[in-house]
Amino acid sequence: MITEKHVALNIATDSPQDVISQVGQLMVNNGLVEPSYIEGMLHIYEEFGPYWVLTHGLAMPHARPEDGAIESGFVIMTLEQPLNFGHEEHDPVSIVIGMSATDQNKHIENIQQLTQVLNNKQKINMIMQAKEYPEVIEIMNR
């Protein structure tokens, strides 16, 4: 269940690394991950590139459970300005969903929960245009 504390809207940023750090800090603040998880996400981005830009406008950075996952869950952040992550097909990114999972089964459960959003362009567009927390929470919890 997503609540207001899991959402950050219209975040100013200038690089994918900054976005990853900010979404990671939101995860730390919500008790989902240890600070080391942020380094894990940055390392994965540097090593494997933008594979987690899953659909047009949406990225879902994450790291391995052993990088510091405390609880399984996710946070959502919208960007003030769309940002290129380096994905040929799905850039620029406007929505970032930071995900943590304590094991592979939880990872799959998180993906299944998010599939309702990932496969619905209308929901993605509504989140991109949201101006207030309740709008995002309502869309995500539908």
Instruction: Work out the number of other CB atoms within 10 angstroms of the CB of residue 31.
Output: 12
Residues linked to residue 77 through DSSP beta bridges, in sequence order:
8, 96
Residue 40 has pLDDT above 90, yes or no: yes
Specify whether the CB–CB gap between 11 and 94 falls below 8 A: no
How high is the pLDDT of residue 79?
Answer: 97
Report the CATH fold assignment for 4-141: Mannitol-specific EII; Chain A (3.40.930)
Domain ranges of the chain: 4-141
The residues carrying an active-site annotation are: 62
Residues 6+ apart with CB under 8 A from 118: 54, 55, 58, 124
User: What percent of the chain is modeled with pLDDT above 70?
Assistant: 100
pLDDT at position 116: 75
**Which pTM does this prediction carry?**
0.92
How confident is the model over 83-141, as pLDDT tens digits?
Answer: 999 999 999 999 999 999 999 898 888 888 887 777 888 888 999 999 999 999 888 87
